[in-house]
């Protein structure tokens, strides 16, 4: 590449940099600097040193919250897969009209704000809501409260993130050549064996894409766990917000934020080593 650059005339050489400069300057000022400030605060507030990290990595509360976050993200990812895979499969095997209708529904869900969907789950799962009402109607005398538990927040997160999974799986599944399936069937592959040897490998990139996306978004989820979950099962983002808002513990909050960021980047890095990062979002 260096050769190409030196071959070009001086003016042309500068041109892409001129086009790029405003954005680069902008990101430096309003992305890197605040991010750097978080890193800075984590080692200077309230004292210079690694006290905050020591607390975050060894304190029972923080360790528990991080483990819980990781566990919840994994659970949500698996649930999204359980919801997304069969649906994508069905969309691929039903009439075009139905597939379009389902696609429209998923798109609609995707575009509807996180908050609206979180609120909707609050309505659905509330003590006077339709789920409890339904349970009571079919004979459950005293249905347990389900709002403000790990169950309700997990369910809502699965709902919110499922479109990412479905879209990713559906887009690879659609590209599978039906002739391939037919020839597999003609060679005697049915049911589970067809699934294991043909479908699964062919859709693996979609599954990987969707899973990483869901997992990463879930790691940093703030709104839904805060509104629907319980404080005894907090996730990392919620605790960071609480530390800052309630205690003005900028140092501790920042240290947790940096740990969260590093975990996220590690997941993305592992993924990009294998598949390439552009594939994920592109």
Partner 1 sequence: MDRLMRWIGIGIVIFIAAPLVIVVPMSFSTAASLQFPPPGFSFGYYVQYFNDPTWLRPTFNSLFIGAMTTILTMALVVPATFALVRHKFWGKGVANLMMMMPMAVPHIVMAVGYYSYFGSLRLVHSHLGVVLAHTCLSVPITFLVLSANLKGFDRTLERAARSLGATPRQTFWYITLPILRPGLMISALFAFIQSFDETVVAIFISGRDAETLPRRMFDSIRQEADPVIAVISTLLFLAVFLGLIAPHVLRMVRRSLVRVPLPKPKKMAAQHREAA
Partner 2 sequence: MTAKQRSMLVRPSRRRFLQGTAAAAATTLATPHIARAQNTELYINSWGGPWLEAATANLFDPFTEETGIKINTVSPVSFAKLAQQVRTGVYEFDVTTLGGGDIVRANEAGLLEDIEPPYEGALFQNGAASHAFATKLAWRTDAGWDGTPQNWADFWDVERFPGSRSLQRYAARVLPIALLADGVPMDELYPLDIERAFAKLDEIKPHIRVWWTGGSQSTQLLRDGEVDMIGIWHGRYYEALDAGAPVAATWNQAEIDRAYWVVAKDTPNMEAAKQFVEFATSPKPLAGFVTQGNYGALNPAANEFIPDSALPRMPTSPQNYPLTFEQDMANWGGDPHEVSMRFDEWLAT
Q: How many whole angstroms separate alpha carbon 44 and alpha carbon 53?
A: 11
**What is the C-alpha separation between 110 and 104, in angstroms, rounded?**
10
Q: Which residues of 26-47 are buried (b: 16+ CB within 10 A; e: fewer)?
A: eeeeeeeeeeeeeeebbbebee
Q: Does 73 bind partner 1 (CB under 8 A)?
A: no
Residue for token digits 């600097």? Answer: 33
Closest-CA residue to 80 (of 214, 174, 206) = 214
Rule CB under 8 A: say whether 137 interacts with partner 2: no
Pairwise CA distance, residues 76 & 152, whole Å: 12
> Rule CB under 8 A: is residue 105 a binding residue for partner 1?
yes
Q: Which is nearer to partner 2, 55 or 279 (CB)?
A: 55
Among 70, 110, 151, 275, binds partner 1 (CB under 8 A): 110
Residue 86 touches partner 1, criterion: CB under 8 A:
yes
DSSP 207-223: HHHHHHHHHHHHHT--H
Judged by CB under 8 A, the residue of 5, 12, 49, 100 near partner 2 is 49
Residue located via tokens 């071959």: 7
Region 55-84 residues binding partner 2, contact defined as CB under 8 A = 59-61, 64-65
Write the binding mask 173 to 192 for partner 1: x where contact by CB under 8 A, - elsewhere. Answer: -x----------------x-
Using CA atoms, how far residue 202 sits from 12, 186, 223, in Å, is 44, 18, 35
Judged by beta carbon, residue 64 or residue 279, the one nearer partner 2 is 64
Give, to the nearest 10 degrees, the angle between helix 60-93 and helix 236-247.
130
Closest distance of CB 120 from partner 2, Å? 16
| Identity of the residue, 171 or 230, whose beta carbon is nearer to partner 2 in the bound complex | 230
- Residues numbered 116 to 135 that lie near partner 1 (CB under 8 A) are 116-124, 126, 128-130, 133
29 counts as binding partner 2 under rule CB under 8 A? yes
Distance in Å, CB of 128 to partner 2, minimum? 6
Stretch that binds partner 1, among 49-57, 58-66, 197-205, 253-261 (CB under 8 A): 253-261
Choose the stretch contacting partner 1; rule: CB under 8 A; options: 48-56, 58-66, 97-105, 181-189. Answer: 97-105
Residues 208, 217: contact at Cβ < 8 Å?
no
Asked if 240 touches partner 1 (CB under 8 A), the answer is yes
The verdict on 265 binding partner 2 (CB under 8 A) reads no
> In the chain, which residue ranges form alpha helices assigned H by DSSP?
2-7, 10-27, 33-44, 51-58, 60-93, 96-111, 114-125, 130-137, 150-173, 178-186, 191-194, 200-219, 223-228, 236-247, 250-274, 277-281
* CB of residue 71 to partner 2, shortest distance in Å: 14
Residues that bind partner 2 (CB under 8 A): 29-30, 33, 44, 47-49, 59-61, 64-65, 126-128, 145, 147-149, 230-232, 234, 239, 242, 244-248
């Amino acid at each position: 590449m260096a050769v190409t650059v030196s071959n070009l005339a001086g003016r042309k050489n500068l041109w892409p940099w001129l086009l790029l400069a405003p954005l680069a300057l902008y990101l430096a000022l309003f992305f890197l600097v605040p991010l750097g400030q978080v890193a800075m605060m984590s080692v200077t507030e309230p004292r210079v040193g690694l006290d905050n990290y020591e607390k975050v990595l060894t304190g029972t509360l923080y360790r528990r919250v991080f483990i819980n976050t990781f566990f919840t993200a994994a659970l949500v990812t698996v649930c999204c897969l359980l919801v997304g895979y069969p649906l994508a499969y069905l969309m691929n095997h039903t009439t075009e009209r139905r597939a379009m209708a389902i696609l429209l529904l998923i798109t609609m869900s995707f575009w509807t704000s996180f908050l609206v969907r979180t609120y909707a789950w609050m309505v659905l799962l509330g003590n006077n809501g339709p789920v409890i009402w339904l349970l009571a109607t079919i004979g459950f005398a005293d249905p347990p409260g389900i709002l403000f538990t790990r169950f309700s927040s997990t369910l809502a997160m699965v709902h919110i993130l499922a479109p990412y999974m479905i879209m990713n799986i559906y887009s690879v599944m659609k590209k599978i050549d039906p002739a391939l399936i037919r020839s597999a069937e003609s060679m005697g592959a049915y049911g589970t064996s067809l699934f294991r040897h043909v479908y699964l490998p062919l859709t693996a990139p979609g599954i990987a894409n969707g899973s990483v996306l869901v997992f990463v978004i879930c790691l940093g989820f703030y709104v839904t766990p805060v509104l629907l979950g319980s404080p005894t099962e907090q996730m990392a983002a919620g605790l960071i917000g609480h530390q800052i808002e309630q205690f003005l513990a900028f140092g501790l909050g920042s240290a947790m934020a940096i740990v969260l960021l590093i975990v996220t980047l590690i997941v993305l890095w592992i993924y990009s080593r294998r598949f390439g990062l552009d594939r994920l979002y592109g």
